Amino acid sequence: MFIEEKLILTRTSLQCRECKKEYDNAFKYICDECFGPLDVKYDFPQITKNTFTNREHTYWRYFELLPIENRSNIVSIGTGMTPLIKANNLGKKLGLNNLYIKNDSVNPTFSFKDRPAGVAVSKAKEFGLSAVGCASTGNLASATAAHAAKAGLPCHVFAPSTIEMAKITQALSYGANYISVDGTYDDANRIAAQIGDSKGIGIVNINMRSHYVEGSKTFSFEVAEQLDWQVPDQLIIPVGSGAMLNAICKGFEELETVSLLDGVSNMHMIAAQPHGCAPIVDAFKKNSKEVIPVENPDTVAKSLAIGDPGDGRYVLKRLAQYNGCAEECNNKEILDAILLLAQTEGIFTEPAGGVSISVLQKMVEQGKIDVNDKVVCYVTGNGLKATESIMEILKKPDVMKADISEISAVVN
């Protein structure tokens, strides 16, 4: 529920990321001149740390930093202000004194995708669109479907048929028209783009992408506020399309623009990808500016199985800008990291979060993170959405008779 208060509205426009041409805010995502992606540009009002005091505990507390012009168009299911956990147990194991886990597995649909989906569906409502949809590796399907249900809009999901059943079930439960594509995510993405443009559907991560990515900025806003407006030294971010990492950088930069932070340029960005679908890591390690797509992704981290990352080359630019690096981890390392996080901090993540934790371990082993660095590791999805993979390495419990002496003998 929103507190009644007078808000100074933020003026926004769209600006090409490549040629910098500006456009009025509209249902538009590609530059007419150079076909580059369009980003939301802000003319921010005066903002202080007190601006956000006594507001609702969702990411809509940062209304002035988001691209919705009229808050009556906000579609909220209670996303955001997720815990930033001081991970003392895991930190001790890894030799880190200031390790934090940003736990987005507790969002309403149990992943970080509630952030961008909420902004995109809200903007679709503001544009007066009659339907929304998405191309998805799983988490975005349920996030978009949930927000569409709240908004009273039809939702069309395009996703590869191989994603986890729990994610399919969740999206169907919200009433989505679920199109299961016999192919990769990139196949589903191509089909969604063509249908969205031809039928005027707001495909949140395609033709609504300029506004969609703004939701992921709220990761930056919350972490900064939860750290008492301090800038982290190291950020470990799981990467699929690359949009989240780019948005997190944009978010911190905007906080510096409105004078809520300083020293943002001292951050180090670490891009984490799974082996079998790590085109950005491959490009980084080859010191190449070209991200070569992976035709057939093969990884247990299905939510990161995006072979042709739309923001791939922009991630490489961000890594150069923030003196960062990129690293990958294999299936075994991912599953081991899931258990490590669960058994030290009580957080059960899906494989994408395991990628973050595994790469965190590698960075420590490689001496790229100092013992006293303020480290934020992003955990983006809940383990209950992808139990098939982790069950493969867990011992299934034996069924025992309800006999106290027999059971007592195995309890040490």
- CA atoms of 104 and 47, how far apart (whole Å): 26
205 is in an annotated binding site: no
Within a 13 Å sphere around the CA of 352, how many CA atoms are in the beta-carbon half? 30
- CA atoms of 20 and 190, how far apart (whole Å): 26
Is residue 144 within 8 A of residue 170, CB to CB? The reply is no
- Beta-carbon contacts of residue 35 (< 8 Å; ≥ 6 apart): none
380 is in an annotated binding site: yes
- Beta-carbon contacts of residue 411 (< 8 Å; ≥ 6 apart): none
- CA angle at residue 324 from 322 to 326, to 5 degrees? 145
The phi and psi torsions of 333 (rounded to 5 degrees) equal -65, -35
- HEC secondary structure over the chain: CCCCCCCCCCEEEEEECCCCCEEECCCCCECCCCCCEEEEEEECCCCCHHHHCCCCCCHHHHHHHCCCCCHHHCCCCCCCCCCEEECHHHHHHHCCCEEEEEEHHHCCCCECCHHHHHHHHHHHHHHCCCCEEEECCCHHHHHHHHHHHHHCCCEEEEEECCCCHHHHHHHHHCCCEEEEECCCHHHHHHHHHHHHHHHCCEECCCCCHHHHHHHHHHHHHHHHHHCCCCCCCEEEEECCCCHHHHHHHHHHHHHHHCCCCCCHHHCEEEEEEECCCCHHHHHHHCCCCCCCCCCCCCCCCHHHCCCCCCCHHHHHHHHHHCCCEEEEECHHHHHHHHHHHHHHHCCCECHHHHHHHHHHHHHHHCCCCCCCCEEEEEECEEHHHCHHHHHCCCCCCCCCCCCHHHHHCCCC
* Binding site, annotated residues: 139, 380
* Residue set of the binding site for pyridoxal 5'-phosphate: 139, 380
